Structure 1
């Protein structure tokens, strides 16, 4: 609506004269008030548009106080020179009225459209628009381990590493935030992935701690323990004589999934005799591969009856004698050595023996002549049950590394200690407390994952296992064989260091200001500032560091302080005091210097393995990379966000007392896009549950949640229990059919509907429901859409309304039997894969 001041006075009933009293007449005031109700997104303040201005001037000409010849002009057309002149001035008033409305609109926080207007109004409340936050990445350094390489390498603070730029992009610089002591033994520490291998009844798999065992399919293995090895000749027969298993290998898997460095043997049948009398080795169990299949000497002797049936019916000493521990093996087999094992096998009978002595020899008997190997066995039990013609000798045993097997349990969130404790292969020295580490591995869902965490206690090494305690805990559950801990890790933030001489101080100048030459100024994460970010800027005057403050208002005349202000162009200005509010600069030549960093926001959103070009590589460092993507970056604050968060400074005063304060405080934190606070009863006490989403609409990183929690703890009432949790993002879908105007292109309209729906519902507020009618309204508003069917929503129990839960106490979604706990608020998110927009065929 346009305010038209050609009104009628409420008291006289005559037309408003448009004079100086017009702005105060009740009709004009009432009409302007009606046009500018509270909560409007734009202001209506055009008090003198062309038609209204010309009408008011004609009314003045027609007034009773005017001469008759003047009054007669009021009825003339615009072709009359006098009226044409008035028409021209009406155009002028229309232009002035238009810009007056624009200026008035920029004077209100809700209606301002220029970012600088919002900035100035927010500044009057003591609030500075958030400029964004630089990205953070965990850089893993690899130390050279070749002979002669230094054992310890110190990576200095502010070591720059550049990204490998994507096509059309510029390289970005990341700099380490602290000094790092790196060692070759900490390059990549494996998880302790083994546990003693059991050999119980029914087991049909044997694990080998090697990938070069030499075992092949159809090989034979002997599983035997100290019970059988301790049996001597003359001992009474007992179960110890039978506690061994001889099996055939049916499958050999080298490096099975999630267990690199291991070999898995599958046996033809499980270990043991029967459950009631399993006869499985239990003490000091060893697994031997029997590498050669041999025969007894005389296995190929001819039947003596074929030679002379009247005189010889069998060869002398051909049968194996009871009580005789000697065995004659065909051929010279030097690989059979004392202490090794042999297994005699023939249909219906198998026995295992240990070799006590070996003598190479030769013989001429049984109509044969050749080499043989005489072997003395540890016992003679059942030896006479075998015959030379049918017995096979499995010999040349080699012990396999079968004492250990891969840990079957997962590492991380499902471990007994939760994700706080990790068992690693020991390093020398052990990992110290406070060290940043990166954990990589394959999760229980067969996905590769990377998590950054920190050691909260010095590692302890006991019995070949180094145990570390970390916080935050690991969120994923990993297969232990895939876990690697990169312990030469330094946190780096996006931004390149620049040194600049700002200028010369002049004691006569009040509020001296200097511009930083290179934009944009880097802002890094901070838990001491309510906004969550501080500029990476250091200003020195005559080599003395001055202190940055938010405002000069409370500064004294001798306080060496300055303020930082940013313009819409991205230029950063440093302003000093006037001698009353903050000290003036001392007079000098080029005595004001600044060291700052440039780079912020999405420019630093590096992908994994993209930050790997060291500008200055310390001696002894082989390589560096970021294993995970850069995170915790935040864009500059938008107009809509500023309109919402600027008044919060007045409401909260950087303190959190009420539940609403918690929500307002979190919303104003750099990097947080959505926030909600709920007071939840957990059965014992009321707890403030703060649920947050990152500015990208995704769940925030652990480091951002931790930083917000620490900052909030410094601003809240400490007696009030609180938790800060990443909000739960629930992906939902919608299906609808649209009828497209035949004058429009169908693919373009369909794409526009999808774009409009994703823009409207792709990042919803926390605990905000989604109704099918809301989807219909958005789709119907797209140009070219004639009609829309009622959408069907997916992702909830009903198809016309999806509900997002607030913070609450209860079991996690999908696990109704789990123990209840504090849960974050939910945020519904319409996603492209779940959006189905179909076009009605004509």
Structure 2
């Protein structure tokens, strides 16, 4: 034997190395991949060449290069053997369930166990409809809607589930947080008025008289000047110059008057003395500024009090206008001749007041505000000021004299007197009149957020008619990417129909979870958009009615292919398995029933089954006359009505809009939330895990493993763990279910399906409680020493696979089999620094590993991109999560540092 056929290394005696072809096939049980290949191209080529060397007749044939035809023929045989052994190994693995990789192979294998891979599921979405006009619009059932979702190659067809009445007012609107009107205190400079009750126009610069209680004569009051007027919802808000400084008001509201002109009492500015000539003597007599403003209770006349002592001529009274003459004739006026002159000429009734100017545009019935001092004796500067708001009963023009002052005046007669028997005298110099423009109105403190309110209370801004229609209406509250769907409830005491647009209370169920009351401010622009015309739709396009073929009563198990795929399925809590197709089969114009299986069915039952092939096409199969009836013979008598489309999931693609069918007064359609529920056909890996367990359970729910296997077979479920537990002191089967990311909303559907399974195929001894599981994301920093002879990018890729990072699927890195891969982890399973180091140490090319930081990320939620690293990274050596959590590592939180040194430290 030539030396070329011998291998010196590892053989002390220069013996020839034994051939590896044909390799003996030996595989221990439980392997995820079996080695069934007896040799590769190199092994077969070496075997053939060595046999050639051993042939005595060919000893002279020493050339071994491929340019020799004989050697080329041998190498061709080695290539053929390589191909055959490759496919032998591949087919051998595909022949066993635990080693199969192809979905077709897994499908064929699990069918032998009576397990069928779940078909694709259609998605569901809630669309918001915007309609125009002032009357409702009816959205019919099966109304077509088309939306381009993220990740989808083409727009997806949806159809509305049921008829819906859309209100124009609920297309898009806003809600507001609960509020209070605080009590008015000093230093307040903003006020509000209900716009609907405001009958006059308020502008910057207008004067207002703010009065706590106009029925009290010594109430708190203040004249203010408007600095700014703005509209806010149903209120007109007023900012004043300065602030309220008249004291704290034990209420949130006051009475306000818009002021026009200001007047004084006629004669308030008269000279303090008057010259009186008696005979040949001229005397300076003081002028009285005291007036009696309240009628006496015991006499029918009034006294005109004078402080002078030398006046005795009643002829000094002169009446220059007929209205005054007529009015004076009606009054019981008795002038007491005394040395004290009357205060006015002519004398006036107690509830009549002359103004300091002559005006002709004061209206009877308007309000006059009066501020003056009152006393039971001669008033002094220290007397308190009193306030009265009176209506004008009569207006007249007169010429009056007070002391040395004579002039024209407008006399106003009030509807009621002011003052009391004890407080009847005033100093006319203290009297002020304020003309009121329009009617009095109520002014309030501006609204402020109610910090004591709970998150189930909001306010709707609208009229009573639309408010009543909010009862039990579904609403979507949208702010950016955050969406909450709630049901509204109204206050029954406020359901009377009215057209006043105001804030009306709503109760929402459930209370706010993602949003807060702070997202519903009382000012505009609002932060949250509310959609009230919500219409549920599911995926699927209704295809034209199709003729499948002819029935032939002579044939058994007739099978027909549906003309278009994929057939739409939806989960149903009343079916086992839960996937139900959107399909109706009519045989000779009669509707036949779909069943899960023909096994153990009656011979005359008009039934059929539906199956999907590996290409996704759907086939309808009928009975053989023993298990299900045969088809009656007929021409084109097998007709199908079906819908197509599966897998709708995700949010609306940016910069795209929802397209709807033709509908009068339809304005726009929105998809605020994501489409959910859509699933592609079940993967082979999931079937490999679920099928054996379902076979072992024999279709019954007995053990905890039975519950786990049935749950895992439901589309959208990624991980499940079942335990016996107590909830509110009630024993039950507690299932922790981890849904695929983004499908947490479908957890209730899983609960309903399992409840049906428990009733139909379980003992119903214990209730089932499904609680959502979640991923607990961690960070990991490691320093890794690599062999300098290995390429660092390849080593890093192998490390990411071994550690099981997520987020690298787009780069072709599958970490599902790694340490943090979901299939390898259990709920509540802890992780250790030492196991991490050992896992990485086993990667080819890694020399040593040091874990420098390992801990939990900060924040909540399943999206690792929204979580934050702690300010100080720690390394506790061990991380323990809750029993409803699974540890997960995203690629952005895995920070390996590579060094090319061979060792670190002493060891």
Common fold by TM > 0.5: yes
Task: Tell whether 2:88 aligns with 1:46.
Answer: no
- Equivalent position of 1:280 in the other structure: 250
CA distance in 1, matches of 2:622, 2:791: 60
Note if contact 2:398-2:410 (Cα within 8 Å) is conserved in structure 1. Answer: yes
- Equivalent position of 1:172 in the other structure: 156
Note if contact 2:367-2:392 (Cα within 8 Å) is conserved in structure 1. Answer: no
- 485-494 or 393-402, which deviates more: 393-402
Q: 1:478 to 1:54 in 2, by over 3 A?
A: closer
CA distance in 1, matches of 2:561, 2:727: 53
Within 5 Å, give how 1:769-808 maps onto structure 2: 769=830, 771=832, 790-795=852-857, 799-800=875-876, 803=879, 805-807=881-883
- Equivalent position of 2:543 in the other structure: 498
Within 5 Å, give how 1:580-599 maps onto structure 2: 580-599=626-645
- Equivalent position of 2:26 in the other structure: 32
- Equivalent position of 2:501 in the other structure: none
SS at match of 1:589: strand
SS at match of 2:695: helix
Q: 1:111 to 1:449 in 2, by over 3 A?
A: same
Task: Tell whether 2:615 aligns with 1:569.
Answer: yes
1:601 CA displacement: 1.0
- 437, 451, 467: which one pairs with 2:484? 451
CA distance in 2, matches of 1:75, 1:686: 86
CA distance in 2, matches of 1:463, 1:266: 31
* Cα distance per residue 1:75-102 (max 9 Å; x no partner): 9989699999888666554433321211
Note if contact 1:675-1:690 (Cα within 8 Å) is conserved in structure 2. Answer: yes
Within 5 Å, give how 1:692-841 maps onto structure 2: 692-695=737-740, 697-698=741-742, 700-701=744-745, 704-716=746-758, 717-735=763-781, 756=805, 758-759=807-808, 760=815, 766-769=827-830, 771=832, 790-795=852-857, 799-800=875-876, 803=879, 805-807=881-883, 825-830=884-889
CA distance in 2, matches of 1:720, 1:329: 93
Within 5 Å, give how 1:486-635 maps onto structure 2: 488-499=533-544, 500-602=546-648, 605-606=651-652, 612-617=658-663, 619=664, 623-635=668-680
- Structure ID, larger Rg: 2
1:566 CA displacement: 2.0
- Equivalent position of 2:9 in the other structure: none
* Cα distance per residue 1:156-190 (max 9 Å; x no partner): 32121222678995332210112335566776798
CA distance in 2, matches of 1:725, 1:343: 72
- 825-834 or 475-484, which deviates more: 475-484
Q: 1:111 to 1:167 in 2, by over 3 A?
A: closer
SS at match of 1:597: strand
CA distance in 1, matches of 2:791, 2:257: 80
CA distance in 2, matches of 1:265, 1:709: 55
CA distance in 2, matches of 1:621, 1:216: 41
Note if contact 1:208-1:262 (Cα within 8 Å) is conserved in structure 2. Answer: yes
1:706 CA displacement: 2.3
- 471, 476, 493: which one pairs with 1:462? 493
- Equivalent position of 1:673 in the other structure: 718
Q: 1:90 to 1:732 in 2, by over 3 A?
A: closer
- Equivalent position of 2:320 in the other structure: none
CA distance in 2, matches of 1:359, 1:785: 109
CA root-mean-square deviation:
5.8
- 74-83 or 619-628, which deviates more: 74-83
Note if contact 1:163-1:611 (Cα within 8 Å) is conserved in structure 2. Answer: yes
- 503-512 or 198-207, which deviates more: 198-207
Q: 1:545 to 1:335 in 2, by over 3 A?
A: farther
For structure 2, list consecutive stretches of 5 or more residues without a partner in the other structure.
1-16, 295-349, 374-380, 497-503, 809-814, 859-869, 902-907
Note if contact 2:540-2:646 (Cα within 8 Å) is conserved in structure 1. Answer: yes
- 418, 430, 433: which one pairs with 1:379? 418
SS at match of 2:720: strand
- Equivalent position of 2:256 in the other structure: 289
Q: 1:317 to 1:399 in 2, by over 3 A?
A: farther
1:550 CA displacement: 2.3
Q: TM-score, with normalisation over the residues of structure 1?
A: 0.70
Note if contact 2:150-2:650 (Cα within 8 Å) is conserved in structure 1. Answer: no
Q: 1:18 to 1:318 in 2, by over 3 A?
A: closer
CA distance in 2, matches of 1:313, 1:671: 109
Within 5 Å, give how 1:69-468 maps onto structure 2: 92-142=80-130, 144-146=132-134, 154-163=138-147, 169-182=153-166, 199=183, 208-210=193-195, 228-229=213-214, 231=215, 241-242=217-218, 244=220, 246=222, 260-262=233-235, 273=247, 280=250, 287-292=254-259, 294-297=261-264, 304=271, 323=294, 328=355, 338=365, 340=367, 342=369, 344=371, 352-357=387-392, 374=412, 376=414, 379-380=418-419, 393=434, 395-396=436-437, 398-400=440-442, 402=444, 408=450, 414=456, 427=465, 437-440=474-477, 450-452=483-485, 461-464=492-495
Q: TM-score, with normalisation over the residues of structure 2?
A: 0.66
Note if contact 1:336-1:358 (Cα within 8 Å) is conserved in structure 2. Answer: no
1:513 CA displacement: 2.4
- 661-670 or 798-807, which deviates more: 798-807
1:129 CA displacement: 2.1
CA distance in 2, matches of 1:350, 1:461: 47
SS at match of 2:711: helix
SS at match of 1:637: coil
CA distance in 1, matches of 2:792, 2:266: 90
1:128 CA displacement: 2.3
- 651-660 or 770-779, which deviates more: 770-779
Note if contact 1:161-1:173 (Cα within 8 Å) is conserved in structure 2. Answer: yes
1:790 CA displacement: 2.7
Q: 1:273 to 1:516 in 2, by over 3 A?
A: same
1:496 CA displacement: 0.7
CA distance in 2, matches of 1:767, 1:431: 48
SS at match of 1:645: helix
- 704, 707, 714: which one pairs with 1:662? 707
1:544 CA displacement: 1.6
1:60 CA displacement: 11
1:498 CA displacement: 0.6
- 729-738 or 558-567, which deviates more: 729-738
1:114 CA displacement: 1.0
CA distance in 2, matches of 1:569, 1:508: 29
Note if contact 1:515-1:574 (Cα within 8 Å) is conserved in structure 2. Answer: yes
Q: 1:488 to 1:718 in 2, by over 3 A?
A: farther
* Cα distance per residue 1:344-367 (max 9 Å; x no partner): 599998754322226556677787
Note if contact 2:131-2:665 (Cα within 8 Å) is conserved in structure 1. Answer: yes
Q: 1:486 to 1:322 in 2, by over 3 A?
A: same
* Cα distance per residue 1:268-304 (max 9 Å; x no partner): 7789957xxxx635xxx85433333643237998784
1:405 CA displacement: 6.0
1:469 CA displacement: 8.8
Q: 1:659 to 1:431 in 2, by over 3 A?
A: farther
Q: 1:290 to 1:459 in 2, by over 3 A?
A: closer
- Equivalent position of 1:4 in the other structure: none
* Cα distance per residue 1:521-548 (max 9 Å; x no partner): 2122321234543221222222222222
- 638, 641, 644: which one pairs with 2:686? 641
CA distance in 2, matches of 1:156, 1:517: 27
Note if contact 2:747-2:772 (Cα within 8 Å) is conserved in structure 1. Answer: yes
Q: 1:676 to 1:165 in 2, by over 3 A?
A: closer
